[in-house]
Structures are given as C-alpha cells and as structure tokens.
Amino acid sequence: MQAEPAIVEVQQLIQPKLTRLIEYVNEQHEMTASIYFTELAIQLAQAKTEPDLLGWCIELSRAAFVGIQYDETSWALADEILADAERISLTFTASSDNPQ
C-alpha cells in the first residue's frame, strides 16, 4: 500500500527536520533523544494513512515527558517539529470533521 499524497507531503516536510534533530542529539551524546526521535522517524516513514500520521503526532506529543535532557538547540529543533505536528493534526481533524 502506497502512502496517501497528503502523508507523503508531510513526510517530505518533517523527515529533514527529524534528521537534523537526530544528528544534533547524536553529536551531543543524548542517547535517550536519539533513540526516541529515531523511532519517530521510522514511524513517520512507515505512515501510509491519516490515522497512522495522527498516531505519530500523538507519540511526538510525549517528547517533553520521556526523559530527554534538552538543551536550547535541541529544544528549538524539537519545538519546530511539534509546531508542524500540531498544524498537521489540526488540519487532518478539521478535514475529517467537515467531509465534502
């Protein structure tokens, strides 16, 4: 099954940001963050449908509660992804609330 076009668009937007964050936390030797965000990158790459993507957004929302020691840079990178995910989840929920 191929990913829906909207999912591919989201993947293309967020994967580079996740990669940048993962590379940064690896450089900082923050292994908890590396493992967590690598798993999220894999989950995002495997998303095919809106429910997959919304599940990914929910998992991402746990980023502040999984024991990661953020510094200013890693938090800014993560916050950018969180803001994107919030917009995405609002867009998908709004579109399913108002079917045409």
Domain boundaries of the chain, sorted by first residue: 5-94
Query: Mean of the pLDDT values across residues 73-88?
Result: 94
Query: Mean of the pLDDT values across residues 2-29?
Result: 94
pTM over 0.75: yes
Burial of residue 63, with CB atoms counted within 10 A of its CB: 0-12 exposed, 13-18 middle, 19 or more buried: buried
Distance of CA 60 to the CA centre of its chain: 5
Q: Has residue 6 got a pLDDT over 90?
A: no
Q: What is the pLDDT of residue 100?
A: 46
How many percent of the chain have pLDDT more than 90? 73
Q: Has residue 73 got a pLDDT over 50?
A: yes
